[in-house]
């Protein structure tokens, strides 16, 4: 287990905006950062990161928390895995404490699959660098491809011995469970037989965005017509082919920085580009491009450049992926290489400057590329030309931005030498059916809305919930601050008459809130807020130097999420850029004392009202002569309500 001192050091060092910035493209929004949610498919940012508070909030899904909770949500890390990731990122040496057998047994299946995969990656690397067969065959192959030692190590490339059970035997010897070896696909189990899936192949570890090993790609090096050239790990609890991009863990920062992602087809394409000096490149690992993979890129940039080799048949088959990219509202450019060349071979033969120049000069807008590819096949055949035009318009119809759609229609008309009116008419026909379906759906929803509107009363505002929530927010933001609070107290004047006079009293915010609530023996109605309230009060009492970041990191994940939701709600306005519309929300920290007093008094008034209503109900249900005590209490509470109302008016 990780020692408490190491955990404290990790929390003190990690910056939430830096951690999340590795996975999401963040843009400055006042004192905060905003970006597209990594947990939902959206086009308008609803994801907010606060460097000051060191927390994040995703308003589209309700998720939120600290840097650790983000890694647990996004990368499905366990708590220790998230800490280890941060320690590695910030070069923090972890002190370990002895882990008991019981704690070891608690490791769940997913963690075990990750451990097995990490072991396999290390094993394949050792085999390639430390055995004669690995050096001669595996390392020899990569060197022949032109990869340097540094590149081979960077991508953790390896080799699986050309033996039936070499890996499996070693894994079992090291204590790994055969069930997990089978579930990751590293070992194939058939009845009483066990053998290595990747026997005699060079190994390409496939990693998540954070760098965890999810699966492998293996390439055979011997001529065997019965064996597939490439074999990938089967899907498992940790590996979903449609949601992974090869090289994304090494490319993410460069993609965000360059605001562009190069998309290639193979492992070696990615590796060769990296070695040449272009790092913002990923691969779909030989599988058809999916919406999930595109959304991975969309978190980092809106721009994709698809790189094809000179194979016309392959290019045509890959055109379908462009439509998927357009549907996500992204900008697509396409670059092809000379006939007989692919990204791997071209990068190998050219310097960084030559490769970068070629990509810049030859990358075409998708419509220019698609028109040039399809037009060559149909220029002498009117029917085929009509199909080509329809195909291009079909792609344009996928674009959600209407301005872009019109511009592309104009470009298509110019390239294909056809009138814009015809193209717009064709586009309208294509979208008509979809529009009718959306209209039908909208009418159904409107009808349902009308039924609800007439049959159900409007939802009541839970005043107590909102006020209790505000108290928690005040404690979190300002609990340890010392403020001058103005209060009204009963004093006797020169004539002997009682009246309210203002008195300034200095107090810490949490003490003021606690004592005022204690005056009327008030309890929180919301159980979550009640638990949170006493947790915060207790921490503020014990810790003279209360630190919000440390506090959030110290509570459990459910409480941390609740805290994040409360704290980030007031930042939500910045997502809409109100300041650009000359709307400047009032800064709360300029009137802390006023805000605290107003909130406490409002809650006390509300609870008194509820108390009086309760007494009134009791009076109606009982005989009048038995209710004198109740009436006295109502009178007392009404008097208190008047006093509080006068105080509240002064605060306002």
Q: Convert the pLDDT of each residue in 528-584 to its tens digit.
A: 888 888 888 888 887 777 878 778 877 777 788 888 888 887 666 555 554 554 444
pLDDT of residue 440 exceeding 80, the answer is: no
Mean of pLDDT over the chain:
81
Residue with tokens 């396409």: 334
The DSSP output letter for 652 is: -
Beta strand 303-308 with 261-264 is parallel
**CA dist list (Å): 110 to 206, 258, 622:** 16, 34, 62
Q: 175 pLDDT exceeds 90?
A: yes
**CA dihedral sign, ordered 182, 187, 188, 191:** negative
Q: Are 297 and 245 in contact (CB under 8 A)?
A: yes
Tokens of 76: 């499905």
CB 264 within 8 A of CB 276: no
* Ordered alpha helix ranges (H), 90-216: 101-105, 109-130, 132-133, 140-144, 149-154, 166-173, 178-183
Asked if residues 220 and 227 have their Cβ atoms less than 8 Å apart, the reply is yes
pTM of the complete model beyond 0.75: no
Q: Which of 87-91, 268-272, 310-314 has the lowest mean pLDDT?
A: 310-314
Q: What is the DSSP letter of 543?
A: -
| Residue 627 DSSP label | -
* Cα–Cα distance, 572 to 582 (Å, whole number): 17
Q: What number of CA atoms fall less than 13 Å from residue 313's CA on the CB side?
A: 1
pLDDT at 597 over 90: no
Give the range among 411-420, 503-512, 582-591 with minimum mean pLDDT. 582-591
**How many beta carbons lie within 10 A of that of residue 172, not counting itself?**
15
DSSP 8-state assignment for residue 550: H
Determine the pLDDT at residue 277.
96
Task: Tell me the DSSP string of 196-233.
Answer: ETTTTEEEEEEE-TTS-EEEEEEEE-S--TTS-SEEEP
Instruction: Determine the 3-state secondary structure of 464 from DSSP.
Output: helix
The helix (run of H) or strand (run of E) holding residue 35 is: strand 32-35
Under a CB-based contact definition with an 8 Å cutoff, are residues 90 and 602 in contact? no
Half-sphere CA count of 527, side-chain side, radius 13 A: 0
CA distance 534 to 147: 60
Q: Which domains does the chain have, with CATH numbers?
A: 4-89 (3.90.580.10), 108-238 (3.90.980.10), 248-430 (3.40.1360.10), 463-570+588-651 (no CATH)
Instruction: Give the DSSP letter of residue 135.
Output: I
Q: Quick one: pLDDT at residue 521?
A: 63
Stretch among 16-25, 185-194, 278-287, 515-524 having the lowest mean pLDDT: 515-524
Largest CA distance in the chain: 112
Residue ranges of alpha helices (H) inside 483-591 are 509-519, 527-542, 548-554, 557-569
Percent of all residues in the chain with a pLDDT value above 90, rounded to a whole number: 30
- Token match 């003279």: residue? 544
**173 against 395, higher pLDDT:** 173
């Amino acid at each position: 287990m990780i020692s408490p001192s190491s955990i404290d050091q990790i929390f003190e060092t990690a910056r939430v905006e830096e951690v999340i910035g590795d996975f999401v493209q963040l843009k400055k929004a006042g004192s905060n950062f905003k970006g597209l949610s990594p947990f939902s498919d959206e086009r308008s940012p609803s994801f907010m990161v606060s460097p000051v508070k060191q927390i994040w909030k995703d308003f589209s899904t309700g998720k939120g928390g600290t840097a650790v909770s983000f890694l647990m949500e996004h990368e499905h890390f366990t708590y220790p895995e998230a800490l280890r990731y941060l320690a590695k990122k910030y070069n923090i040496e972890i002190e370990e404490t002895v882990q008991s057998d019981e704690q070891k047994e608690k490791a769940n299946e997913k963690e075990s699959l990750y451990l097995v995969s990490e072991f396999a990656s290390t094993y394949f690397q050792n085999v390639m660098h430390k055995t004669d067969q690995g050096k001669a065959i595996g390392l020899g192959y990569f060197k022949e491809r032109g990869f340097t030692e540094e590149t081979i190590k960077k991508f953790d490339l390896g080799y699986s011995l050309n033996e039936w059970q070499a890996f499996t035997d070693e894994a079992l010897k090291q204590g790994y469970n055969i069930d997990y070896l089978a579930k990751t696909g590293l070992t194939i189990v058939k009845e009483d037989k066990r053998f290595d899936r990747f026997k005699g192949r060079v190994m390409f570890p496939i990693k998540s965005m954070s760098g965890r090993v999810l699966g492998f790609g293996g390439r055979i090096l011997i001529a065997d017509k019965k064996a597939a050239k490439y074999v990938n790990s089967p899907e498992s609890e940790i590996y979903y082919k449609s949601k992974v991009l090869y090289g994304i863990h090494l490319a993410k920062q460069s993609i965000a920085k360059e605001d562009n992602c190069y998309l290639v087809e193979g492992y070696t394409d990615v590796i060769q580009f990296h070695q040449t000096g272009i790092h913002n490149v990923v691969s779909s690992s030989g599988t058809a491009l999916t919406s999930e993979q595109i959304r991975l890129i969309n978190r980092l940039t809106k721009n994709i450049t698809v790189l094809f080799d000179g194979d016309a048949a392959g290019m045509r088959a890959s055109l379908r992926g462009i439509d998927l990219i357009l549907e996500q509202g992204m900008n697509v450019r396409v670059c092809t290489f000379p006939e007989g060349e692919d990204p791997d071979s071209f990068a190998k033969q050219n310097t960084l400057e030559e490769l970068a120049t070629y990509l810049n000069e030859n990358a075409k807008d998708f419509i220019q590329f698609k028109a040039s590819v399809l037009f060559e096949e149909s220029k002498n055949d009117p029917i085929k030309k009509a199909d080509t035009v329809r195909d291009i318009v079909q792609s344009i119809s996928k674009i959600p931005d209407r301005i872009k759609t019109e511009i592309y229609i104009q470009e298509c008309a110019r390239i294909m030498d056809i009138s814009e009116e015809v193209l717009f008419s064709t586009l309208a026909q294509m979208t008509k059916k979809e529009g009718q379906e959306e209209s039908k759906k909208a009418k159904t929803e409107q009808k349902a809305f009308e039924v609800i509107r007439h049959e159900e009363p409007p939802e009541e505002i839970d005043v107590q919930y909102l006020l209790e929530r505000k108290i928690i927010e005040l404690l979190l933001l300002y609990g340890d601050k010392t403020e001058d609070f103005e209060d009204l107290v009963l004093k006797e004047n020169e004539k002997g008459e009682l009246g309210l006079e203002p008195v300034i009293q200095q107090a810490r915010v949490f003490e003021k809130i606690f004592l005022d609530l204690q005056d009327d023996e008030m309890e929180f109605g919301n159980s979550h807020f009640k638990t949170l309230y006493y947790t915060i009060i207790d921490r503020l009492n014990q810790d003279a130097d209360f630190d919000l970041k440390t506090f959030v990191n110290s509570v459990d994940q459910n409480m941390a999420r609740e805290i994040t939701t409360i704290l980030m709600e007031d930042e939500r306005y910045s997502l809409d850029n109100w300041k650009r519309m000359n709307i400047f929300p009032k800064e709360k920290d300029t009137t802390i004392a006023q805000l605290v007093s107003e909130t406490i008094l409002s809650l006390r008034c509300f609870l008194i009202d509820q108390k009086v209503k309760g007494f009134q109900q009791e009076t109606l249900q009982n005989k009048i002569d038995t209710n004198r005590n109740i009436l006295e209490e109502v009178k007392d509470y009404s008097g208190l309500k008047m006093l509080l109302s006068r105080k509240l008016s002064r605060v306002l």
